[in-house]
């Protein structure tokens, strides 16, 4: 028989030699939560193995990430409920939990890790939406842009290498880029949550950040039915100055990841979200799947679709395992 593709599958060494897609720790980012008012890390019940961290424990996490060769960390802040207001003003307060966490991580690891900060108001507003509301309860796109600029500037002052606007407000990247440049932060990168869908897979994240959301975000996050719109959003963000564009969630939107990757000349990120993590962990706990194989397969599928950067809650574990192999 002339054609025997199985010849290249005969041994582990052979399969490794010809593997088309490889996931490297340095292309991973670890989303991590820092919470005000706790004295020790608190496990997130909907995300077994993930924690809300203190300012001290986040320093340790950052050190472990550097030691394992992980490329970056995406920081989310969880303030006290009494610190939240209609605007989310604690988000740009230098003494807010997120900005203090950025500074703590930079003090601990310097430039050895890309320190990225989530630039969105949902964790900080009393109503849980990603922007300010009109009297009728609709998120006011243009009024929110100024607040995103304040937040991004505060994060840059705190030491963030990169800010990541995730609120899906039209024009957010251009507004933030202009604000950063005007203040001299021309080297601060923007990773735009460009194609962020109104997904059911964000559920466990709501616990992680203590969400106070009333209603839903369907008027500003994308409809899961729309594929072309995801590419359009990414192209708009690039035109506005995004350095990296993101698709979120990852696993159920690999077609969008592929579309964006084939059409742009900037790095493409994909966020393997809390629901993706929780489902796989739950199936593994029930003995239904091989946990480590499933984790590895899920990451390689995202990379295979075209993602250059993968945000995943398994970043540290995967990198540490890679060191042992």
User: pLDDT truncated to tens, each residue of the chain (325 aa)?
Assistant: 788 888 888 988 889 888 889 999 999 999 999 999 999 999 998 899 999 999 999 999 999 999 999 999 999 999 998 899 988 899 999 999 999 999 999 999 999 999 999 999 988 888 777 788 888 888 899 999 999 999 999 999 999 999 999 888 899 999 999 999 999 999 999 999 999 999 888 767 665 555 665 667 767 788 999 999 999 999 999 999 999 999 999 999 999 999 999 999 999 999 999 899 999 999 999 999 999 999 999 999 999 999 999 999 999 999 999 988 7
**pLDDT at 284 (0 to 100):** 96
Set 196, 218, 228, 324: catalytic member:
196
**pLDDT at 130 (0 to 100):** 78
**pLDDT at 205 (0 to 100):** 61
Set 2, 178, 248, 324: catalytic member:
248
One of 3.40.50.10490, 3.20.20.70, 3.40.710.10, 3.30.300.30 is the CATH number of 22-324, namely 3.20.20.70
What is the DSSP secondary-structure string of 210-248? T----S--TTTSBPTT-SHHHHHHHHHHHHHT-SEEEEE
Task: List, as own/partner pairs, every contact residues 233-239 make where C-beta atoms lie below 8 angstroms and the sequence separation is at least 24, other chains included.
Answer: 233/194, 233/195, 234/192, 234/194, 234/195, 234/260, 234/263, 234/264, 234/268, 235/263, 235/264, 236/194, 237/173, 237/192, 237/194, 238/264, 238/266
Place of tokens 């957010």: 172
**pLDDT at 127 (0 to 100):** 78
Give yes or no: 218 in active site. Answer: no
Give yes or no: 196 in active site. Answer: yes
Phi, psi of 48 (to 5 degrees): -55, 130
For the chain, domain boundaries: 22-324
């Amino acid at each position: 028989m002339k054609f025997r593709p199985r010849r290249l599958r005969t041994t582990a060494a052979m399969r490794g030699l010809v593997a088309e897609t490889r996931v490297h720790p340095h292309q991973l980012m670890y989303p991590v939560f820092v919470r005000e008012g706790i004295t020790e890390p608190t496990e997130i019940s909907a995300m077994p193995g993930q924690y809300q961290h203190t300012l001290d424990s986040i320093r340790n996490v950052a050190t472990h990430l550097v030691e394992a060769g992980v490329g970056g960390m995406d920081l989310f802040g969880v303030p006290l409920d009494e610190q939240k207001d209609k605007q989310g003003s604690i988000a740009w307060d230098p003494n807010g939990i997120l900005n203090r966490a950025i500074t703590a991580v930079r003090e601990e690891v310097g430039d050895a890790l890309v320190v990225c900060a989530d630039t969105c108001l949902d964790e900080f507003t009393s109503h849980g939406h990603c922007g300010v509301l009109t009297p009728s309860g609709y998120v006011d796109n243009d009024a929110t842009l100024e607040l995103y600029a304040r937040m991004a500037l505060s994060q840059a002052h705190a030491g963030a290498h990169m800010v990541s606007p995730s609120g899906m407000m039209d024009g957010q990247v251009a507004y933030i880029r202009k604000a950063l440049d005007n203040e001299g932060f021309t080297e601060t990168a923007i990773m735009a949550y460009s194609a962020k869908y109104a997904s059911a897979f964000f559920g466990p994240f709501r616990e992680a950040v203590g969400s106070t959301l009333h209603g839903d975000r369907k008027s500003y996050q994308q409809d899961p039915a729309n594929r072309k719109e995801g590419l359009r959003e990414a192209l708009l963000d690039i035109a506005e100055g995004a350095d990296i564009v993101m698709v979120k969630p990852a696993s159920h939107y690999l077609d969008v990841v592929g579309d964006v990757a084939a059409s742009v000349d900037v790095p493409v990120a994909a966020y393997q979200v809390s629901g993706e993590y929780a489902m796989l962990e739950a199936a593994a706990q029930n003995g239904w799947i091989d946990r480590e194989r499933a984790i590895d397969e899920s990451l390689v599928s995202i990379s295979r679709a075209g993602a250059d950067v993968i945000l995943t809650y398994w970043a540290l574990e995967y990198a540490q395992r890679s060191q042992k192999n």
